[in-house]
Structure 1
Amino acid sequence: MKRLILFACVSTCLASAQANRPQANRPQPPTRSPHTPGYVHATQLPDGAIPPPGADGNFIIGPTHKPAPALAAFAAENHTLPNGRVVTFTMTSAESKLYPGIMRDPGTFGTPDPHNPAKLDVSTSHPAPWKRTVTVYIPSTYQPGSFSPFIVSQDGPDTMLFAALDALIPARRVPSQIAISIQNGGGDAQGSERGLEYDTMSGRYAEWVESEVLPRVEKEAGVRLTRDPDGRAATGGSSGAACALIMAWYHPELYHRVLSWSGTFVNQQWPWNPATPHGAWAFHESLIPKSLRKPIRIWMEVGDRDLYNPNSMLDNMHDWVLANERTARVLAAKHYHYQFVFAENAAHVDRPTREQLYPEALEYIWQGYRQ
């Protein structure tokens, strides 16, 4: 099954997440300058240029975002994956011991606690079942019976990830690896299943993937997945990106590599937890600065028109650009291997920017890996 695998959803890789996000009354984010006082010092690249995949540090890319050659070929060839195959299966909440399922009533959000603006009270969340697909890309280079490196992607199916790997693996620009793209559990933000899974500051989601998803992947796809954390990566956009870092942060014995698009390193955790009262804002506020360096390699992107305070919580902890800038700063201070890209003319989880940078981002996070 090496040829003619068609993905009708290629133009909406994150559609399941985007469709569920509340859109009403959300102001247009302002355009931020990468040279704003307080932002990290970054290397300005010529328009159209991208950072070298082996370079740590901060970079600014220009406003023109042409697809990388690997992804341009994917579009030109009618979205086929000539160098791999895809397996899809379904999971339900009835099978899960860790996520029995919740949802927030449509058209509702929550109310900031009058005594604590960093805490959102949600009264319309209740138990509800979920059903989701898991889509697995298996490269033709996979040797049956061998233990493969892999990358876990949130808000699946991430066909752009599959296309990038399909081009990069034969060119030996990244290790041969399996991609596991997991659909979210529904809804968005506080009180939803997606928000519970992606925004909660704990190891639960990584534990769910480990105990419930990966065994099914091995069974359904007929593959074996490495137990070596250096051969495991996680990626996502928005809250899915926060989730990727959360997976590695709370379980560095499971994941060492993180790829983040417009990471939601903001105060969006629910239920409120006094151990991390500011949710993922804590990454740059306290967790990274006050912890010993973990064995995590991270690639991050944010756009100049990324989200800014898109809800009623006026807690000064809902600026996506600032959150990513501050994360880059504390990663540098702790001497992490990281690459941070500030993209001009780019919105939240910006598709043209992803098309331009995805291959380079994958090359960066897999630097140093030896199979």
Structure 2
Amino acid sequence: MMPQRDPHNPLYPKATDLPDEQLPPANRIGNFILGPTHTPPRIWDTAQTTPHGRIVSFTLSSQESHGYSPGITRTDPFACPQGSGSEPYSQPGDPSHLILPHTGSTDWTRPVDLYIPQNLPRGKPVPFLIFGDGGENGIYPGRDLFALVDVLISQHRLPPMVIIGVGSGGGDAQGSERGREYDTFSGAYADWVEHEVLPRVEKHGHITLSHNPDDRATMGFSSSGAAAFAMAWFRPNLYHRVLAYSPTLVNQQWPHDPALPGGAWQLHSPWAGAPHAQPPQSGAALAPNTDRKPLRVWYEMGDQDLFYPVRALPDGMHDWVLAGENMARVFQNKHYDYQFVLSRNANHVDGPTIEQTLPEALEWLWAPSHGNTH
């Protein structure tokens, strides 16, 4: 069981306590604390009965990919003497550098599901939201999202848009293909999506996707939430809107990159490893030392979110809630358009919190950036 964090920890930036079951105001930016009761709004009832647009599905494989081919996988022995030889461990003198004794290459296949709403405008490029961890084995059921968006569009709370769910290459965490794709903090995943996923979406869906970054949103859960941040941070020419639940803004990157030894942790905070292990210049935080980017971000953490899931990595950079709070402080100081929600009585990628907040979060995400107030 994960520890329960105090939303008013002095290490966290100030936040507004909301009455139980109340959501952040639609015209506000900043930090908010959600109450402990998470009742889904009635729109979900409508989403279960409303007619849907088209859902088009296809499969990608590593054999037809130029990126992430072949994939990687953990190859730990099934039976290991004393159960220790296959366990990860950290580099001597540097607990932020994880060593995996057994990894190997593998092929992968992944589903891509495309939702095309009814009455989509014809003859012009269309907006879209793309999310990771899609498919039947994804963290969040894509078809629930499709049904919700269908209602929000019909109520004119969202513009007509395409929703794209992309499965990961498999596995989880360090040494997996999923971890390689989502936790590597760079523009690589955004580039792979741009050159290998989106052209196939256009082909299979018989649509043209917009190239305007204001018409493009990224979304994810846990590590795919970190990927959503990375896609917009490193490729703001492609994406301006980000939505994430429990994003893994911690040091999950593997293989270790000496140019960014803290992985996604260094988006918001300096590298916190052993002082002698890396040159100081590679440990600076990115966002505090970069001019404000034209991003609009909504994200959430649970007060019982993850904390040091890997025993071999006691590096000071594996508290999911602290990472989210540190990111909020940067956004606040840099005057970003953002809402950060810390949800009480909520775990990692908390289902009741998602159902409670997702309709309003999507609507907030697609609102114009101007005119918001603290």
1 CA distance for matches of 2:44 and 2:177?
32
Retained in 1: the 8 A contact 2:296–2:369? Answer: no
1:314 alignment partner in structure 2: 314
Q: Secondary structure of the residue that 2:287 maps to in structure 1?
A: helix
Bigger Cα displacement from structure 2, 152-161 vs 103-112: 103-112
What residue identity is the alignment partner of 2:175?
Answer: G
2:74 alignment partner in structure 1: 104
Q: Secondary structure of the residue that 1:141 maps to in structure 2?
A: coil
1:72 alignment partner in structure 2: 45
Retained in 1: the 8 A contact 2:129–2:162? Answer: yes
Report 1:268-347 matches (<5 A): 268-285=252-269, 286-312=285-311, 313-347=313-347
Shift in Å, 1:187? 0.6
2 CA distance for matches of 1:104 and 1:238?
20
2 CA distance for matches of 1:254 and 1:333?
24
2:275 alignment partner in structure 1: none
2:83 alignment partner in structure 1: none
2:212 alignment partner in structure 1: 228
Structure showing greater radius of gyration is: 2
1:144 alignment partner in structure 2: 122
Retained in 1: the 8 A contact 2:34–2:343? Answer: yes
Q: Secondary structure of the residue that 1:169 maps to in structure 2?
A: helix
CA RMSD, 1 decimal = 1.4
What residue identity is the alignment partner of 1:265?
Answer: L
2:91 alignment partner in structure 1: 113
Q: Secondary structure of the residue that 2:232 maps to in structure 1?
A: helix
What residue identity is the alignment partner of 1:237?
Answer: F
Shift in Å, 1:73? 2.8
1:32 alignment partner in structure 2: 5
| TM-score, length of structure 2 as denominator length | 0.88
Shift in Å, 1:369? 7.4
2 CA distance for matches of 1:344 and 1:186?
31
1:241 alignment partner in structure 2: 225
Retained in 1: the 8 A contact 2:169–2:178? Answer: yes
Shift in Å, 1:109? 5.3
Cα-to-partner distance string for 1:139-193 (whole Å, 9 max, x where unaligned): 1131233211001100003223212211111111111110000011101111110
What residue identity is the alignment partner of 2:158?
Answer: V
What residue identity is the alignment partner of 1:316?
Answer: G
Residues paired across the two proteins, number? 339
Percent pairwise identity: 50
Retained in 2: the 8 A contact 1:34–1:342? Answer: yes
Unaligned runs of 5+ in 2: 79-85, 136-141, 270-284
2 CA distance for matches of 1:198 and 1:110?
20
Retained in 2: the 8 A contact 1:54–1:367? Answer: no
Whether 2:362 is the aligned partner of 1:362: answer yes
1:94 alignment partner in structure 2: 63
Cα-to-partner distance string for 1:241-263 (whole Å, 9 max, x where unaligned): 00000000111100000001001
